[in-house]
Structure 1
Amino acid sequence: MPKRVCIVGAGPSGLVAAKSLLHGTPKGTFDVTLFDAQTRIGGLWPSRKDDGTGLVHPRMVANQSKHTAQFSDLAWPEDAPQLPLAWQVGQYLAEYRQKYCSEASFSLGTRVEKAEPVTLATVDGSWSGWRVQTRSTEGEVKEQSFDHLLVASGFFGKPALPPVSRGDHEVPAIHSSQYRHLQGLLGKTGGSGGKILVVGGQMSGVEIAGTIASHLSSAVHSPGPSPISNPEKYTIHHIIQQPVWVFPLHTSPKPTASAPPFLPLDLGSYNTSNRVHPLTNSQGHISLEAAKIVHSIYETVLGTDQSIFSPDVAVTAAHTGNPPYLTISDNYMDFVRSGLISVSHGKLERLSGREATVSPSEEQIGDIAAVVFATGFDASSSLSFLPASVKETLSLNPTDLSNTVALAFHGTHHPDVANLGFVGFYRSPYWGVMEMQARFLTTLWAAGGPGSASLPPTLTEALDLDTSIERTMALRTDPRASQFPMGDYAWLMQEFASALGLVRSPPLGAMPRLPPADKEMDILTPARYPPKTLSEAQQSEVVKSVKQTEATAWAGLTSARFVARAVFRSLLGEWKLERDLTSKLPSHPSGHFSGTAKFLLREGTRDGREAEFDALAGEDGDPGLEYLYIEEGDFKASNGLSFRAARRYVWRYSERTDKLSVWFARTDDQKRADYLFHEVEFLVPKADGMEGGGNDGKGWEAKAGHLCIDDFYNVKYQFNFKAVNLWDWRLAYTVKGPKKDYTIDGVYSR
């Protein structure tokens, strides 16, 4: 008779647990029922563009690529973006459920209210299990018995709001997970302006500050009516406790190259050929020496200590002895540089009326229009159904948002609570670790639990040597605890694989070689750890997934893939522009232009690309982002004339085609695009020096051509990066036609 398993939660953790239990042992070992309070599967991840009911905006860009946000035996569609939107992740999960969880029972719209461990006398001895009480959205209460209880209700349970949020403030105050758009935060019409206060300086704080800044920028610089009144009168004030490293979504595996190649952030981060094997844990307690090393690595990857953006976000020598904190945002730093985001260090002490006080400096921040608390989640709410005795055994500490409970073998179980397991209950639950946790519990329970003689020897040894509970308890009071205390991703995958007797599969083919060790890339993805037994269909998915990752790595390192995106991201803000015009015809005088060029971020618009835009909206509803380019300055001609000059363009980046394009602005409405000027074609460097990069130190070069009636524009670009950031760049073009023969050469610098 199969063992009945109750899974609480039908998000990624619940689904991969169900799949493992149903397929990871001889069929029929487990009978699985999943309960979820939501009326859909997916947990945090909505599967529709218009589903705004969850904790994640459906259009949020995942901060891990599709190569990491996946399970081992389901590849993403070939045309899926490298960085999927939240609703696309939801669709991936829907396909996973259909493919692997059809034999599970789903009770959606049903909340688990109580779960009590019970032991009953039977004719065969005794039975230990769980009595579970549930309540449906219609109010129907049921009680059922299960052999095992598996918690997959998610670490991101209930938004955590500090006591100061309940002060006598006079402005809207929400948690970052509730933010969707400016109208929802400020009201449909907005107001007279002021500061939007963002509280919290880790992942969600940086992400939400950057998101709100992009929405404000779009409201100001897009054509047509603004979604709120006076958007130009709002700014963002961000309170952080210490400077954090802000990584863009794409980084370079050769940051010192003059023409650095780019890859999605996680492909470089999880290239294990750069680490000593067997891997040791880089998280947990961070020594002074280890902290300095990691800070140095981060500075090399970014090419700066971040002082180029503002001294308020610089990670200086005063900070490098502390454990490093990493966050991810494509545009946060350039919005700081532009002044749209200002930063204060400290802790929000008081919030009264429209004024905030920051300790310990007692800085007063006035004219507050709204507050967004990016203060994390109360994970203990996800365990509300467990009895007090079990919570005590698990050493539940609701105030410790990183180490809420103390669990054995990397967050999977507790030896003193029979038949209770956990999957994905920790900060940053990378999908590969979730899958490993599910496999671990499947093997453990199928063999009869800890101490069973039926356990595989590798698992018995791993359990004997495990110190996860002691480690968690020690980290609760450790002032040098890391950002992700449970362990680093690659090390966790190694430890689970060793316990389960899994071997990471080799790459399918040769991989690019990278400095400093001149070794082939060895990128860790879930597909590198497939199940021990694979059906033909599963094997096909594994191969497809690994091929996608390897093809992406090769494309990023041997072509100009992702360079257009890196350039586009780094253009945001204001540049100093010096341009020479040299004419061969007396009718067009030569001269020099000196001024500024501003790249003003906004949501993608339809103008000039109606058919493409409508097709894109019909497929995924994401027009992407674009810039309104405004150039202003003084032109001094060689004949002595001087006048004020200005011009406007619209710059666009297409995720689908990986193309950067420049469009003329309309003369009757200069916020709107008119027609295409040119597409930028990046040129692959001729040489590839291991340390210095190729292209003879010239940076990334690009070209374009455009025929305008009888005049041909021959365009040349040169983009000079310092690691991930565009340092300066040059735009030159010659124009030849019946009445034109001149050259323009402009240099842009910060």
Structure 2
Amino acid sequence: MNTATDQAAPTAAIIGAGPAGLVAARWLREVGFRITLIEEDIEVGGQWRVGGPQSSVWPGMRTNTSRVMTAFSDLPHPPGTPVYPTAEQMGAYLRRYAEQSGILTDARFRNRVDEVDPDPAGSGWRVRATTVEGRSWEERFDHVVAATGRYRVPTIPPLAGLSGFNGIGGVIHAAAYRGAEAYRGQRVLVAGHSISALEIASELALRGAARVVVAARRHRYVLQKILAGVPIEHRVYTRYAALASARRSPAESAAALKSLILRTSGHPAQFGAPCASEDPYEAGFTQNQFYLALVAEDRITPRPWMAGVTDQTVRFTDGSTEDIDTIIFATGYELSLPYLGSRARAALAPDVDQADLYHHTFHPDLPGFALVGVYHQSGPYFPTLELQARWVAYTWGGRRPLPESTEMAAHIAALRPRNGPPPMLRMHTWARLLADRAGVEPVPAHWPELTRALHFGPQSPASFRLDGPDALSDAAQRVLEDAAAFGAIPDGTLTVAERAQLDALTARGDH
């Protein structure tokens, strides 16, 4: 790792010390930048610092993705870490990562960034900030990375009568949920059908709530979190799936996804749960290990969306009603970039859903500025955060070409006009795009002994350290270990079906 502190080295300010900010700082330092990490909190961790001002997690909460896929390539979790680490374990992991990476030398905690804009006096960027004591400061940097996350400002949709709800537990957003104990014996309505909604509803049903109702505009398919001991992302978010999705028609992709869901997790109707559409892309899909079983046991009651509230009575769109003590909205977050100055804001034109960006990262009119981790994705975030950070670092460090301005502008123009939220990114296809941009997507022909692990195993962080800049000597062994960790790929021998699938891709020109 580069440890140079040359005062002539280019400078970069990283806004935010959560996972995205830490990995961006680590890789910019690798290519020779002097890093200044600016964080409003007193410590690193972001969402994973339980109790921190930027955190929406609750004590004891578990990750949704396995320890293999919730880590960066430089630092696996220590032996003995559970398959799904706790929030506290993730906070400790990120602290170790920051210390190992050497990025805390010029970290400025308890500093809120007020404005970031191009330097009017020339190249570079001006950053204005305020310390917790109220002292303002301003400094110029050659580059700036905004890494403040996508899940900062909770949204609660308008609902007739909601302001007059008088249940004893009141109305909160999932961001304020801090565990089930406070709701013991209560009738709780959870609004939404995302992972967080089903996690909260399941925990409430298992830990003493008197009744749990889940209301949703769109009831989704639900994949199990772990299948025969194998975390779902090790089976779903694979390189083969990414390659295949590029060749399939939308109808073929929907059929393949539905087949996977039904084969591994069943149809919601089998459990007595509704589903918005037989097309899994129209209905959407999420994951939870307990929700459908709890519906089948009548410990969670699915309902349609709410039509209104009178006192503590909730009316649903099908005409039914429920008396409720607490309403918890798991209804998402707005994109928030409050520190953008006038020129940066004019270029990015952010709204509550998205900003004008080339693959969620660069803008042609804002050289030296990038966003890392400010995107909405299904599947494990840590591998894609690291890949995006490496793309930015390699581009600014001169290892990879900067995308042409015309290419970036055309990509941005193709996303307009905006009609609501953009499609959710899928980890496996997004990772492959980022790895290609960074020049680190592994070349299977270079690693014949890894054919099965690379195509049908997880896209683990180590797999992106095989080829390209910063390859690791032990990456191949780690790829095999990651693929075998939970039994998904116990050995390197392709099955007959896997060989046929790869042959079909090869016949179409994929590799």
Of 303, 314, 329 in structure 1, the residue corresponding to residue 288 of structure 2 is 329
Following superposition, the deviation at residue 321 of structure 1 comes to: 7.1
* Structure 1 partner of 2:166: 170
Larger relative helix fraction:
2
Of 31, 36, 39 in structure 2, the residue corresponding to residue 36 of structure 1 is 39
Return the alpha-carbon distance in structure 1 between the equivalents of residues 427 and 207 of structure 2.
33
Higher RCO (Cα < 8 Å, 6 or more apart): 2
1:183-582 alignment, distance < 5 Å: 183-184=181-182, 186=183, 195-216=187-208, 234-251=210-227, 261-273=228-240, 276=243, 280=246, 287=250, 290-302=253-265, 304-310=266-272, 312-314=273-275, 318-320=277-279, 322-346=281-305, 348-359=306-317, 361-365=318-322, 367-380=323-336, 383-398=337-352, 400=353, 404-408=354-358, 410-428=359-377, 430-447=381-398, 456=400, 460=403, 464=407, 468-473=411-416, 476-477=418-419, 482=423, 484=424, 487-504=425-442, 521-530=456-465, 532-534=468-470, 539-540=473-474, 542=475, 545-554=478-487
Return the alpha-carbon distance in structure 1 between the equivalents of residues 315 and 434 of structure 2.
46
Contact preservation (8 Å) 2:191, 2:328? yes
Structure showing greater Rg: 1
Following superposition, the deviation at residue 20 of structure 1 comes to: 0.7
Return the alpha-carbon distance in structure 2 between the equivalents of residues 237 and 200 of structure 1.
10
Q: Alpha carbons of 1:434 and 1:321: their partners in 2 closer, same or farther (altered >3 Å)?
A: closer
Return the alpha-carbon distance in structure 2 between the equivalents of residues 509 and 210 of structure 1.
43
Following superposition, the deviation at residue 112 of structure 1 comes to: 0.6
Contact preservation (8 Å) 2:12, 2:141? yes
Return the alpha-carbon distance in structure 2 between the equivalents of residues 13 and 473 of structure 1.
27
**Normalised by the size of structure 2, how large is the TM-score?**
0.84
Q: Alpha carbons of 1:308 and 1:352: their partners in 2 closer, same or farther (altered >3 Å)?
A: same
Of 17, 20, 25 in structure 1, the residue corresponding to residue 24 of structure 2 is 17
SS of the residue corresponding to residue 116 of structure 2 reads strand
Following superposition, the deviation at residue 357 of structure 1 comes to: 2.3
SS of the residue corresponding to residue 197 of structure 1 reads strand
Q: Alpha carbons of 1:690 and 1:212: their partners in 2 closer, same or farther (altered >3 Å)?
A: farther
For 1:301, give the aligned amino acid.
T
For 2:356, give the aligned amino acid.
A
Q: Structure 1 unaligned runs (5+)?
A: 121-126, 217-230, 252-260, 448-454, 559-688, 692-750
Q: CA deviation digits over 1:503-527, x for unaligned, max 9?
A: 416598857979xxxx973431121
* Structure 1 partner of 2:150: 155
Following superposition, the deviation at residue 32 of structure 1 comes to: 1.0
**Normalised by the size of structure 1, how large is the TM-score?**
0.59
For 2:464, give the aligned amino acid.
Y
Q: CA deviation digits over 1:412-464, x for unaligned, max 9?
A: 111112322100001137222211211222222234xxxxxxx746x547983
Contact preservation (8 Å) 1:42, 1:90? yes
Return the alpha-carbon distance in structure 2 between the equivalents of residues 182 and 58 of structure 1.
10
Contact preservation (8 Å) 2:242, 2:428? no
* Structure 1 partner of 2:97: 96
Q: Structure 2 unaligned runs (5+)?
A: 1-7, 498-511
For 1:492, give the aligned amino acid.
W
Return the alpha-carbon distance in structure 1 between the equivalents of residues 221 and 190 of structure 2.
17
Return the alpha-carbon distance in structure 1 between the equivalents of residues 124 and 242 of structure 2.
43
Contact preservation (8 Å) 1:37, 1:109? yes
SS of the residue corresponding to residue 529 of structure 1 reads helix
Contact preservation (8 Å) 2:440, 2:468? yes
Larger relative strand fraction:
1
Following superposition, the deviation at residue 335 of structure 1 comes to: 1.1
For 2:268, give the aligned amino acid.
Q
Contact preservation (8 Å) 2:180, 2:207? yes
Return the alpha-carbon distance in structure 2 between the equivalents of residues 344 and 45 of structure 1.
32
Return the alpha-carbon distance in structure 2 between the equivalents of residues 539 and 500 of structure 1.
19
How many residue pairs are counted as aligned between the two chains?
Answer: 481
For 2:187, give the aligned amino acid.
K
Contact preservation (8 Å) 2:384, 2:430? yes
For 1:198, give the aligned amino acid.
V
Following superposition, the deviation at residue 533 of structure 1 comes to: 4.8
Return the alpha-carbon distance in structure 1 between the equivalents of residues 98 and 29 of structure 2.
12
SS of the residue corresponding to residue 115 of structure 1 reads strand
Contact preservation (8 Å) 1:203, 1:326? no
SS of the residue corresponding to residue 313 of structure 1 reads coil
Following superposition, the deviation at residue 132 of structure 1 comes to: 1.5
